[in-house]
Amino acid sequence: MLLGCIGDDFTGSSDLANTLAKGGMRTVQYTGIPDAPAGDDVQAGVVALKSRSIDPGKAVAQSLAALEWLKQQGCEQFFFKYCSTFDSTADGNIGPVADALADALGAAPVIVCPAFPGTGRSLYQGHLFVKDRLLSESGMQNHPLTPMSDPDIRRWLAPQTRHKVGHVAAEDVFAGAAQIRQSLEAQHSEGHRHIVVDAIRDEDLIEIGSAARDLPLITGGSGVALGLPANFGCTASTPHWHAQRGKSIVLSGSCSVATRAQVAHHAARHPAREIVAADVLEGRLAPRDITDWLLSTEGLPLAYSSADPDAVARVQEKYGRETSSEALETFFAEIARLAVEAGVCRIITAGGETSGAVVEGLGLNSLEIGPEIDPGVPALRARPDLVVALKSGNFGSEDFFEKADRLLAGGT
């Protein structure tokens, strides 16, 4: 294995694996830390953790354990993947995990670059944008677990790390890899270990990747991995894929602006059933109820708990943020388990927490990377008789659920 990656959730990890596979690297996504060596043909291994919203100490311990396994596979470089909207809080774990990995590898300087222009995430003067909106005005300020109220990644990261946070500005990035390397070293010589690097175009990310050729550790969204396969002599390719016929379902727990639009679009054209959080938390609705409805419904049925920010806030205020989130994740995981047990062979999920719960509930150990459905979202084969698409909340076109099912079933 050449490149070892650690992702803080399952959708983000499949996003990264998709980027590396398109770049020509033979890539496998692992669910949690494997208990056996990787295959000899794996060039990039992505260890997907469910650590984005957990206690920093636990996130550090899991990430270091993943790093140790990846080191045992002979990796030459390491990548810490977090969300392209830098999902965290002032007490979040992006900084602590980056510190711990950098210490373990003796890495400095360390690139920090969540930018992903293909999905509208750009970084300019240290500020993160979602399309034409600052991060703090994009809807992410209403995220139920990690509300993002400041678009300045330097300020957001600073309270999470022991080290000074630097910056490589867009004008240096536009000058190419050599200038980026020089600027990184200059920032490091001034005492900065973690360095936020601007990027507004895919070309910027490719140059950043080239500049990172000899760095032990890189951190960021999947976009900054665009330039990494070429460093290992790989060239772009299309992953192999074969159809999976049979019953398909959609499960959505994301409350993002994009997912709520996708739910509305789908519900106007296909059967859809809302999962009311209070019904789950107060025991009036069981996973079997939703599973039976999904199994008995023709077409591409959708079960969703996606709600607007005010509704989410009311639920969290009444039942507690962690209690409500865990209850819904467990609910979706059990629906998926019951559905697959009954013969469902295509599952499309929306939301990082929902997708992680489904993957864990099904006990999926590794995922074969297929072709891209939408930027950042690949088709994934989980078993010989099961394929999945794990969509991050803010990713995907309005008709994503239909598009994903067509590709999973072998269409275009």
Q: Report CA-CA distances (Å) from 277 to 186, 293, 322, 353.
A: 51, 17, 13, 15
CB 390 within 8 A of CB 11: yes
Residue type at 257?
Answer: V
3-state secondary structure string across 321-375: HHHHHHHHHHHHHHHHHHHHHCCCCEEEEECHHHHHHHHHHHCCCEEEEEEEEEC
Please report, for the chain, the start and end positions of each structural domain, with discontinuous segments joined by +. 3-231, 248-408
Alpha carbon of residue 297 to chain centroid: 30
CB 29 within 8 A of CB 13: yes
Q: Which of 282, 307, 297, 303 is nearest to 347 (CA)?
A: 303
Q: Which two tokens mark 54?
A: 């957990």
Helix (H, G, I), strand (E, B) or coil at 136: helix
What string of pLDDT tens digits covers the 412 residues of the chain?
Answer: 999 999 999 988 999 999 999 999 999 999 999 999 999 999 999 999 999 989 999 999 999 999 999 999 999 999 999 999 998 988 899 999 999 999 999 999 999 999 999 889 999 999 999 999 999 999 888 887 788 999 999 999 999 999 999 999 999 999 999 999 999 999 999 999 999 999 999 999 999 999 999 999 999 999 999 999 999 999 988 777 888 999 999 999 988 889 999 999 999 999 999 999 999 999 999 999 999 999 999 999 999 998 787 888 888 889 888 898 899 999 999 999 999 999 999 999 999 889 999 999 999 999 999 999 999 899 999 999 999 999 988 889 999 999 999 999 986 6
Polymer length of the chain: 412
End-to-end CA, the chain: 32
Q: Which two tokens mark 411?
A: 């269409």
Helical packing angle, 56-72 and 94-105, nearest 10° = 40
Helical packing angle, 352-362 and 321-341, nearest 10° = 50
Helical packing angle, 321-341 and 309-319, nearest 10° = 110
Q: Which of 120, 124, 58 is nearest to 91 (CA)?
A: 58
User: Domain 248-408 carries which CATH code?
Assistant: 3.40.980.20
The CATH topology of domain 3-231 is Rossmann fold (3.40.50)
Q: What is the dihedral of CA 241, 119, 348, 304, to 10 degrees?
A: -170
Rounded Cα distance between 314 and 320, Å, is 10
Whether cis (ω within 30° of 0) applies to the bond prior to 96 is no
Q: Helix, strand, coil proportions of the chain in percent (round to 5)?
A: 40, 20, 35
